[in-house]
Amino acid sequence: MLLIQAVILALIFCLIRPYNKGLFNTRKWIAKIREPKGTLDNEETNITLLQKDVKIMSIDLVLKPTMNTVFLLAGIIMGFLYKWWGGLLVIAITRLLKEVTILYLTPSLAYYLKRNRRIVMKKIEGFKEDDEDELEEYKKYLADLEKILVIYKDSKLKPPDSRELRDIPYGDINYFINNYELAK
């Protein structure tokens, strides 16, 4: 019974993983194309992009991947508690299914763009009047998101993965859709 529960936790991890990975990569892509063209791609720039994104989308970026990791670790530990090979079985199942679910269950880029838009609109609606600077940042982000959504709303593109994110230049909103073979 313990092994079955461990495998179920690994399956939950594999089913949730494409959503988390797509969400994170989409946000990183949005942050990258919002930067001006010619921005240098270095560690400092990457940290700045993540700080801006965490400021706007704080809870989704941290909480959901953390919960997903807890499912995986609990499944592996339960597998090892069952028998020594149970944990290895859970790891093998996870490695196999993780790639398959990312390939077939990742929603389109338009899904994540609409989801981000909904989150930002909720933050704007619930804003206090005394935080004008942050409100302006949210409105600017929403305006940029609307421009991106107009271009990508009907595309069936998946969010870019880490390798594709490295190839996408800063500030080029059309690069990903124009290089469809890059985007699979």
Instruction: Please state, rounded to an integer, the average pLDDT across all residues of the chain.
Output: 79
Helix or strand run (H / E) with residue 15:
helix 2-34
d(CA 118, CA 136): 17
For the chain, the 3-state helix, strand and coil shares in percent, each to the nearest 5, are: 75, 0, 25
d(CA 44, CA 89): 40
Q: Which tens digits make up the pLDDT trace of 96-135?
A: 998 888 888 888 888 888 888 888 887 777 766 666 777 7
Determine the pLDDT at residue 14: 86
- The two tokens of residue 166 are 């490295």
Determine the pLDDT at residue 80: 92
- Residue 89's pLDDT band (cuts 50, 70, 90): very high
- DSSP for 148-175, written as a single string: HHHHHTT--PPPP-HHHHHHSPTT-TTH
Asked if residue 120 lies in contact with residue 144, where contact means CB atoms within 8 angstroms, the answer is: no
In Å, how far are 27, 75, 99, 144 from 10, measured between CA atoms?
Answer: 26, 6, 13, 37
pTM: 0.77
